[in-house]
Structure 1
Amino acid sequence: MTTPAHPLTGAELRTLRNEAARVLFTNWTGTSTVPSATLYPHQWSWDSAFIAIGLRHLSPRRAQLELETLLGAQWHDGRVPHIVFNPSVPLDSYFPSPDFWRSSTAGAEAGAPRGVETSGIVQPPVHALAARLVHEADPDASRRRNFLRRIYPKLTAWHAYLMENRDIGRHGLVSVIHPWEPGMDNSPCWDGPLSRVEPAPASSFRRADLVHSDAADRPTDLDYGRYVRLAATYRNNGYRDAGTPHPFVVEDPGFNALLIASEHALAAIAETLGEDPRPHRARAEKLTTALVNRLWSPQDELFLCYDVRAGGLIDAKSVTGLLPLLVPGLPDDIAKALQRTAAGEHFGLGSTTALVPSYDLRGQAYDPARYWRGPAWFNINWVVERGLRQYGALDSADTLTRAVLASSAASGFAEYVDPRTGQARGTTSFSWTAAVVLDLLGRTMEEDR
């Protein structure tokens, strides 16, 4: 049994806030925030969205700049790349590096920017939700800078890219074409689809991640070889979505749930700007219907991933299937079923685990140490907490808030932790961990006043 996290004292909360702020200020580069100064020395897409959500409690202006910097590297076709590279960082500090992606040349026809090097794939679209929350932190300052007015067209183009280019299955949902795109890089959900991918030779790449992290915490060399093969194939086809042979095509419920939540956020932004919110609400409703009809598994009481190439649901229980709790307007029976699943034997939230694990505790592939194959991630628990609260499970949400705060403090703002023991895994002083802590503290400390 996991030990329930007790509420931190006022002094402990203030100390935690100061430590979280220190992490974000230390990892700030002047225009954006690196996830980790050692392991991830560039700007990552969905990291920056979560970072902005936390930064708004310290500096709304800096939170705005975080998103503006990322969207400054947006491609002309609307995609927001998953990495924006810092040219001052040595090439051997991270792989795949800019000379692998070659975005400004290989991606020229797809509209890659010329003045900055990026990757060519994407990550979950949390950005509109982040932008709305950042605006709400200081609406007057946001209006003075025309923050929403400048960022709204970019966010609209980003969502349009996904809907127009990534509905590969033609069923109304966005597909991911690389395991890095849904953010849960080596989830067991990808084992089946990846098994059809011939890995790149081990001699063709050098893994910089193993210099800064324990190999037991990271994806295997075999998985990495497959990641490299998929990325190289996409690059060699000019980063074109149509006409490229995508051996890995998956409809991921978490990715689509975050898109739906961000469409609702775009509707709110449109209203603030005096624009018509109805197209965003209509798109969110259409996506929600497709999500329920296509990915909901009543017998599992969980949303499952769909392998478009094989033509069927993937029989693997991942935390990505709980993320639709963030979607407004789910059928009541589905929302209640997701709460049962989160607390049940497969995820154990509140009983055998303090934080929701990234993968099925009872699954054969479960590993509490290795990246997305079991450990608990703080940003994902932030999403689950927000979803639980949205559907009225306030006691569960409060318990999860306390667990996130306690575990982050005890682990040194770890990248991820063992969901049962809380042992730190990956790297520490991780930016989105500090960011979601600041966001949860913002509400917790306000309620305590």
Structure 2
Amino acid sequence: MEFDVKFIPFSRYGSYLVFSHISGSDKIKEGLYLRSIHGGDDDMKIIFRLELIKEGEAIPFQEIASPTLLRLESVHGYAEICICEPDIVRVKGKGVGLRLTMDCKAYDYAISVDDRRWEINNASNEIKFMLTSIKGRLSVNAPWRINRSECIIADFTPNDNDEFECAIEEFVVNWKKNSYEESFESCHSKVEKEYMSWLNNTLETGEKYKNARELASYITWSCVVSPKGKITRPAMYMSKNWMTNIWSWDNCFNAMALAKNNPKLAWDQIMIFVDNQDESGTFPDFINDKFALWNFCKPPIQGWVLKWIMERTDFIKKQHVEEIYKPLVKWTEWWFKYRDSDNDGILQYNHGNDSGWDNSTVFHEGVPVESPDLTSFLIIQMELLSEFALILNKTEEHKKWKEKANITLDKLLKHSWDGKRFVAFKSGTHKRINSDSLLLFIPIILGNRLPNNIIKSLVDGLKDNRRFLTEYGLATESISSDYYIPNGYWRGPIWAPSTMIIVDSLKKIGEKQFAKEIAQRYCSMILKNGMAENFNALTGEGLCDTAFTWTSSVFLILANEYC
């Protein structure tokens, strides 16, 4: 499989190093760059611009990327790049040399270590690099200016056999001596075996989706980063383009796709937020290696996800229940304690970001908002807590959670069902919000707990091709709405999580054919337009981040179960 690094970064499992082709702008030349994704998505964190050189001059080249090798090819020769270890890049070339250019900022500098090594202190990105010439020569131009290098230009040039090899190694404090005795070919072979093991462990799909499966496999494999700082376990980031964090509901869909064949890593995706849980019970909005963000949270989807996993695998044993029970209790109680300002038993979002549907029209009249999806998720979660309490012989807690789930369901139906549809209200005033968002259909997860007339109304609304159902799946805002925007984030485009939740819910209420139809439309769109963050509901065009893990994970699940 080959892919375009303009859209899909070249990286590997465990690494914070990423190669991307970045389009030109006023601030940056177009070209191929090595980036660091430490510290999240506040900027692109560019380290080096890469160029092939011949006789000291930059020459044109073509980028050819596969899961384990990035080849830079010119009419004069080539260079091949392999991230052999998460923090070590190996490069070999013939007929050409390789130039690395760093545009220095405050305190960035380079010093010579010996006749074949230079240390680069990239202080502006809080990381260091050791450049080592393994074969050929290394020359560095790093003119000093007061307290930093003006720029750093490192040229790896060929030997008398017109070949060069080099290493680019990331480190934080002290570089550990490395002789690089292992050949480039041997290093690449090891990475290839690692990747093939992941691919072979990826959910199976039909032959029709073979190429899409491998793309999804590569994206999910390459987006895992190693434990570091706040990242307490191997974490599947949402992307290595620019969504370079792990968010606390995106992670759940990735866990679902991993559950069958990679259960330990699936569990890690859920438990990484437990490791970072606040004493009040809430989970952070997202985490990266340097910090957790607490300005927002995400919906309490964990109960629904855990039930989904338990229906398909048996890896969640009593010890897992013991590990997750108290954190899940604290997370559930947090909503009732901190997100019910008017004390009516109907929980509120204080911002669209808390729902995961950041700019949905459910929030366009202001916040806080009592949206029925939130209460629905909590009903499912309380039911699961009731089941978990029974497993742990907590009889009274079993009864408590079961009763609270039933009471909350009754309140939801009285409060949020208007006789024809679920509606959202401003918390406190209970002013009805005018919205035709797919978010208001998420209570379908309650399935047969709902009266038949409500189920029928929800299904009829989803089947209406004047509102949500398109050739490619379910739009997140009615296409007939005045607020529908083709590239409007949660105001129109098709998304993986909403598709997954509704497809699964339809299947459970007996709408198997309709569930299959939506799943197949979604997978056909993916086959044509890749693993983007979201998609134009009317054209299927991929939008926003073009290499997203939850898109990949949901595709794998739906193609495995419905196609």
Task: Give your verdict on TM over 0.5.
Answer: yes
- 1:48-447 matches, within 5 Å, as 48-87=251-290, 117-135=292-310, 138-139=313-314, 141-143=315-317, 146-193=319-366, 248-276=367-395, 277-298=398-419, 301-328=420-447, 329-349=449-469, 352-444=470-562
Query: What residue in structure 2 maps to residue 217 of structure 1?
Result: none
Q: 1:254 to 1:437 in 2, by over 3 A?
A: same
State the partner residue of 1:47: 250
Deviation at 1:179, TM superposition (A): 1.7
> Per-residue displacement from partner, 1:314-368 (whole Å, max 9, x unpaired)?
011111111011014011100100011111255242xx44311111211111112
Give the conservation status (yes or no) of the 8 Å contact 1:172–1:286: no
Q: Which residue of 1 aligns with 2:241?
A: 38
Determine helix, strand or coil for the equivalent of 2:341: coil
* Counterpart residue identity of residue 415, structure 1: E
Structure with higher Rg: it is 2
How many angstroms apart in 2 are the aligned matches of 1:265 and 1:14? 36
Taking the aligned partners of 1:14 and 1:269, their CA distance within structure 2 comes to 38
| Whole-Å separation in 2 of the counterparts to 1:309 and 1:163 | 15
Inter-partner Cα distance in structure 1 for 2:325 and 2:215: 33
Identity %: 22
Q: What whole-Å deviation, never above 9, does each CA across 1:49-87 have from its counterpart, x for those lacking one?
A: 111111213311100011111111110010112112321
| Residue type of the alignment partner of 1:288 | L
Q: In structure 2, the residue corresponding to 1:180 is in which secondary structure?
A: helix
> Compared with structure 1, are the counterparts of its residues 37 and 363 closer, same or farther at alpha carbon in structure 2 (3 Å cutoff)?
same
CA–CA separation in structure 2 for the residues paired with 1:443 and 1:185: 29
8 A Cα contact 2:300 2:378, kept in partner: yes
Greater RCO (Cα-Cα under 8 Å, separation 6 or more): 1
Question: Aligned in 2, Cα 1:21/1:267: closer, same or farther, shift over 3 Å?
Answer: farther
What is the CA-CA distance between 1:306 and the residue it aligns to?
Answer: 0.7
Partners in 1 of 2:312 and 2:461 — Cα distance? 33
Pick closer, same or farther for the CA change 1:57–1:22 going to 2, 3 Å: farther
Partners of 2:516 and 2:562 within 8 A in 1: no
Q: 1:309 to 1:354 in 2, by over 3 A?
A: same
Q: Is the 8 A contact 2:212 2:530 kept in 1?
A: no
Determine helix, strand or coil for the equivalent of 1:303: coil
Cα deviation, residue 48, structure 1: 0.9
More strand as a share of residues: 2
| Letter in structure 2 aligned against 1:16 | A
The structural deviation recorded for 1:266 is 2.8
Deviates most, 55-64 or 436-445: 436-445
Question: What is the CA-CA distance between 1:291 and the residue it aligns to?
Answer: 1.7
In 1, the alpha carbon distance for the partners of 2:466 and 2:355 equals 21
Q: TM-score, normalised by structure 2?
A: 0.59
Any unmatched runs of 5+ in structure 1? 1-7, 88-115, 194-247
Which amino acid in structure 2 is aligned with residue 293 of structure 1? K
Point out the more displaced range, 147-156 or 400-409: 400-409
1:409/1:169 CA distance change after superposition, 3 Å? farther
- Separation in 2, partners of 1:439, 1:263: 25
Aligned amino acid, residue 28 of structure 1: V
- Show structure 2 runs of 5+ residues with no match: 1-203, 227-233
Q: Secondary structure at the match of 2:331?
A: helix
Q: Which moved more, 1:57-66 or 1:259-268?
A: 259-268
Q: Would the aligned equivalents of 2:236 and 2:251 in 1 still touch at CA under 8 Å?
A: yes
- 1:384-442: CA deviations, max 9, x gaps? 11121122111111101111222222221111111121111111221111122222234
- Where does residue 244 of structure 1 map in the other structure? none
The letter for the 1-side match of 2:463 is A
Q: Is the 8 A contact 2:468 2:477 kept in 1?
A: no
Instruction: Indicate if the aligned counterparts of 1:57 and 1:439 stay in contact, CA closer than 8 A.
Output: no
Q: What does residue 21 of structure 1 align with? A: 217
Does structure 2 conserve the Cα–Cα contact (< 8 Å) formed by 1:252 and 1:305?
A: yes
User: In 2, distance between residues paired with 1:18 and 1:260?
Assistant: 37
Moved more, 119-128 or 367-376: 119-128
Aligned partners of 2:216 and 2:552 also within 8 Å: yes
Structure with the higher helix share, 1 or 2:
1
Q: Partner amino acid for 1:307?
A: K
Q: 1:434 to 1:346 in 2, by over 3 A?
A: same
Shift of the alpha carbon at 1:117?
A: 3.3
Q: Once superposed, what is the RMSD of the aligned Cα atoms?
A: 2.2
Distance 1:342 1:295 in 2: 18
Change (3 A) 1:385 1:20: same
1:251 deviation in Å?
0.6
**1:57–1:405: structure 2 CA closer, same or farther, 3 Å change rule?**
farther
Q: How far apart are the structure 2 equivalents of 1:253 and 1:381?
A: 17
Conservation of the 8 A alpha-carbon contact between 1:132 and 1:268: no
Superposition deviation, residue 379 in structure 1: 0.9
Superposed displacement of residue 309, structure 1: 4.7
* Amino acid corresponding to residue 169 of structure 1 in structure 2: D
- Residue identity in the other structure for 1:436: V
Query: Do the aligned residues in 2 keep the contact of 1:388 with 1:396 (CA within 8 Å)?
Result: yes
Per-residue deviation at 1:147?
1.9
Q: Distance in 1 between matches of 2:468 and 2:268?
A: 38
Q: Please give the alpha-carbon distance, in whole angstroms, between the structure 2 residues aligned to 1:22 and 1:74.
A: 30
The 8 Å contact of residues 169 and 175 in structure 1, kept in 2 or not, is answered as: no
